[in-house]
Structure 1
Amino acid sequence: MLDRPYVLLSCGMSIDGYVDSPTDERLLLSNDADFDRVDEVRAGCDAILVGATTVRVDNPRLLIRDENRRRARLARGLPPDPMKVTVTNGCDLDAGARFFTLGDADKLVYCATPALPGAEERIGKVATVIDGGDPVDLTRVVGDLSARGVGRLMVEGGGTIHTGFLTAGLADELQLVVAPFFVGDSRAPRFVGDGSFPWGPDRRADLTEVRQIGDVVLLRYALSERYRD
């Protein structure tokens, strides 16, 4: 059996399943109370993974916001922020992105084999570049993360990444937040794309929690026997 971290997928979406707007304007899918919940979940993880498109488009910080949580991690002998991880086939990444420039946590980039030379030149000074296969193999990625001491991995998207983890059977838990509105535009990105998923009409995911958080709803699903309450 593959030795891999516990994998938790986290996503916010509209009622009709979209995770962003079709324009350059950022779509706000959550509220302050839920942002704080996500911050708490992040603080309990060893690494946070996002796709390269998310790094380019959203320019995320991927840092723990609450100083008490940062201090609590330090008291446990951990760095104040989880390791940052991204995966990319082309490695079209800007070394000046906040993913690389903010925070002292390790930054790992799993890159497709053919793009390794360019990746080393472009971002080798700000991140550790790792051969992820051709194309990048998520099973290989999580195996390598486990070997590096990652026991709990939080995956924050985007859609291609969520689809890849789910269809590969590499997810143990899904935390899905539903915002109270519709996007109604098929040009917008969705939570997941097409694929062969382990859960269908004959095998339903186990819904373990439904929680209202202000005007959004958290749906929590157990996706494997490794699920931890």
Structure 2
Amino acid sequence: MERPYVIVSAAMSLDGFLDDTAPERLVLSNAADFDRVDEVRAGVDAIAVGAGTVRADDPRLLVRSAERRERRVAEGRSPQPLRAVFSPSGELDPGARLFNTREAGPVVVYTSEEGREACAVGAAGVEVVAAGEGEVDLEAALADLASRGVGRLLVEGGGVVHTAFLSADLVDEAHVALAPFLLGERGGARFVYEAAFPQSPGRPLRLVEARAIGEIALLTYLR
């Protein structure tokens, strides 16, 4: 199957949580690491998240740096990467910022056959694609992204999507930013959930970078 090169990216606590249970979003990173992520975004053709991340964080999934956007244009690319959402149910808030930043370019929602009927997102520039019956078939979604010219895909969460990509052995590179604390019983969403992962002790990922970004530890792995 022809598919994009897939990068999974996450910031988490030392005990593997992406957030806590408080109503406000927990900041797990710092300004320098946010800038690093912006550089990674500028280097990919598409950025993807799951429906849970849209609901919890209301992201825009944009390259923030004007200089980086200009560099993309100089390279013959669009100022912003394509944005994608994985939502088996299709239940997404049409008022989410992701669907109301038309100047940033198109958004593709990958859902199931049933989810396509339920999806109420009708904003201009948003395309709803059924890629599976009850669930989203990730291989079908990746093949569709490849047909749109996506060579590099950045997957930014959340844990359900990370688990799906990793357990399906569809991840080529992983960026893990570790915050210097544990959440324990305050922990909410996790980086991954229980699954059969091929990245086992018998076939581990390969560590290619470990560096400090202030108090954040960045680990980069390849398959």
TM-score normalised to the size of structure 2? 0.96
Give distance in 1, aligned partners of 2:11 and 2:166: 16
The answer to whether structure 1 residue 194 and structure 2 residue 176 are counterparts is: no
Q: Which runs of 5+ in 1 are unaligned?
A: 224-229
Query: In the alignment, which residue of structure 1 is the partner of 2:180?
Result: 180
| 1:124 alignment partner, one of 122, 125, 134 | 122
Query: In the alignment, which residue of structure 2 is the partner of 1:203?
Result: 203
Q: CA deviation at 1:125?
A: 3.1
Q: Is 1:174–1:222's contact at 8 Å kept on the other side of the alignment?
A: yes
Q: Is 2:91–2:118's contact at 8 Å kept on the other side of the alignment?
A: no
Where 1:109 maps in the other structure, the secondary structure is strand
Tell me the C-alpha RMSD between the 2 structures. Answer: 1.1
Give distance in 1, aligned partners of 2:40 and 2:123: 29
Q: Is 2:51–2:92's contact at 8 Å kept on the other side of the alignment?
A: yes
Q: Is 1:22–1:185's contact at 8 Å kept on the other side of the alignment?
A: no
Q: CA deviation at 1:23?
A: 2.2
Query: In the alignment, which residue of structure 2 is the partner of 1:111?
Result: 111
Query: In the alignment, which residue of structure 1 is the partner of 2:143?
Result: 143
Give distance in 1, aligned partners of 2:202 and 2:78: 43
Query: In the alignment, which residue of structure 2 is the partner of 1:95?
Result: 94
Give distance in 2, aligned partners of 1:45 and 1:79: 11
Q: CA deviation at 1:14?
A: 0.3
Give distance in 1, aligned partners of 2:210 and 2:85: 30
Q: Is 2:89–2:118's contact at 8 Å kept on the other side of the alignment?
A: no
Give distance in 1, aligned partners of 2:168 and 2:95: 32
What are the superposed Cα offsets for residues 130-166 of structure 1, whole Å, 9 maximum, x if unpaired? Answer: 0111211111110110011100000000000000000
Give distance in 1, aligned partners of 2:122 and 2:131: 15
Q: CA deviation at 1:186?
A: 6.4
Query: In the alignment, which residue of structure 1 is the partner of 2:220?
Result: 220
Moved over 3 A (4+): none
What are the superposed Cα offsets for residues 145-194 of structure 1, whole Å, 9 maximum, x if unpaired? Answer: 00111000000000000000000011000000000011112651110000
Which moved further from structure 2: 163-172 or 199-208?
199-208
Where 1:130 maps in the other structure, the secondary structure is strand
Amino acid at match of 2:81: P
Query: In the alignment, which residue of structure 2 is the partner of 1:10?
Result: 9
TM-score normalised to the size of structure 1? 0.93
Q: CA deviation at 1:118?
A: 2.7
Q: Is 2:108–2:129's contact at 8 Å kept on the other side of the alignment?
A: yes
Q: Is 1:179–1:217's contact at 8 Å kept on the other side of the alignment?
A: yes
Give distance in 2, aligned partners of 1:162 and 1:186: 21
Where 1:185 maps in the other structure, the secondary structure is helix
Query: In the alignment, which residue of structure 2 is the partner of 1:163?
Result: 163
Give distance in 1, aligned partners of 2:59 and 2:26: 14
Give distance in 2, aligned partners of 1:79 and 1:105: 8
Give distance in 2, aligned partners of 1:187 and 1:36: 25
The answer to whether structure 1 residue 55 and structure 2 residue 47 are counterparts is: no
Aligned length: 220
Q: Is 1:13–1:179's contact at 8 Å kept on the other side of the alignment?
A: yes
Where 1:123 maps in the other structure, the secondary structure is coil
Q: Is 2:53–2:158's contact at 8 Å kept on the other side of the alignment?
A: yes
Give distance in 2, aligned partners of 1:125 and 1:202: 46
Give distance in 2, aligned partners of 1:37 and 1:24: 26
